[in-house]
Amino acid sequence: MSIFVGGMAMKDDKLHSPARVALTAYLKAKKMRRTPERYAILEKIFSTDEHFYVDDLHKNLEAEGYHVSLSTVYATIQLFVEAGLVRRHQFGNQPAQYERVPQGINESHHHLVCNHCGRVRAVRDQEVISMIGNLRYPTFKTEFFSLYVYGICSRCQKKLKKEKEKEQAVAKTKKKKTKP
């Protein structure tokens, strides 16, 4: 679904433990139950730096023998979004995609979104990060930024090129046939 470019994957313990601590604090503050499901879903989310669909997350949990209903997964993701552990993205008119929010670590990146297949690639561009990081807006405290760049991915470019070549070949043979 998405590929992270260069060194974005962090060591597990560096990410998992602060996330668990943050979730526990949040649940305690909200007087919500610390269910094993919530922690299992958190673990799963923090084990990947990819963007994901809730349906796929649910399928992956199922495949690993972890049975939680789809509605529980949706509700849990919503809770994580409110707790600042997960970020929601909506690219064009595709279903929402989510990604983990590492606690205390800056994983700022922007997104290259393919207009054809919807594939999302995350890129970490130091120039963009420092440029936006250095911007100061009066009376506003920046926490993170989200930038989407829309275009056509390499796979779709190849596909479109092939289709075009095919069309041209067909047009050529048609031309030949119509010649007297």
Query: Which residues are near Zn ion by CB under 5 A?
Result: 99, 114, 116-117, 119, 122, 153, 156
How far apart are alpha carbons 93 and 106 in whole angstroms?
28
The contacts of residue 66 (CB under 8 Å, 6+ apart) are 40, 44
Shortest distance in whole angstroms from residue 128 CB to Zn ion: 13
Closer by beta carbon to Zn ion, 61 or else 114: 114
Pairing of strands 86-89, 120-123: unpaired
The nearest distance, CB 154 to Zn ion, in angstroms, is 8
d(CA 70, CA 117): 25
Q: Which is nearer to Zn ion, 34 or 88 (CB)?
A: 88
Least distance to Zn ion from the beta carbon of 79, Å?
20
Rounded CA gap, 53 and 11, in Å? 23
Cβ proximity to Zn ion: between 21 and 144 the closer is: 144
Residue 149: CB minimum distance to Zn ion, A: 12
